[in-house]
Amino acid sequence: MKIVVIHGPNLNLLGKREPGVYGTLTLGDINRKIEAAAFDMGIEVSIMQSNSEGAIIDAIQKGDFDALVINPGAYTHTSIAIRDALSAVAKPAIEVHLSNIHKREEFRRRSYIAEVSEGQISGFGAESYLLALTAAKKILSGG
């Protein structure tokens, strides 16, 4: 069972970036939590971060995974291209956000990704990724 985790733009700045909204953990801290949880769950995980829409699309198109967990950052609200890539690859995707995007500015409520995802986990900080791993494993196990 191979799961790819994709972190989108500006998530490389976690720890310094608006800590009141996104918390104080760095991306490295979050990735270590993801790797530890994946190990415990018996999941093979591969993690990438990019600020570039094209690089995210290339990673999705590769399709070398059974499911993917994606925090598209601000591309959530703008990128029909990422939406189309997810639709094309037709593997289960879980949309993740650290913050609760429905509790913030109006423009964050619109997600192009939600329409092509199994579900969205939003508002639980780093825990959102771990909940997404659990959800992905359940989906892949047929549950």
**Which active-site residues does the annotation give?**
22, 97
The helix or strand, by DSSP H or E, that contains position 5, with its residue range, turns out to be strand 2-7
| DSSP label at residue 78 | T
Residue 5 tokens, joined: 């985790």
CB of 42 to ligand DQA, least distance (A): 26
6, 62 Cβ separation under 8 angstroms: no
Q: State the binding string over 88-107 for ligand DQA (x if CB under 6 A, else -).
A: ---------xxx-x------
Q: Is 24 exposed, middle or buried (0-12, 13-18, 19+ CB in 10 A)?
A: exposed
Number of residues this chain uses to bind ligand DQA (CB under 6 A): 10
Q: Which of 36, 74, 80, 88 binds ligand DQA (CB under 6 A)?
A: 74
76 binds ligand DQA (CB under 6 A): yes
Q: Which of 66, 108, 118, 134 binds ligand DQA (CB under 6 A)?
A: 108
Phi, psi for residue 135 in degrees, rounded to 5: -65, -45
Q: State the binding string over 112-141 for ligand DQA (x if CB under 6 A, else -).
A: ------------------------------
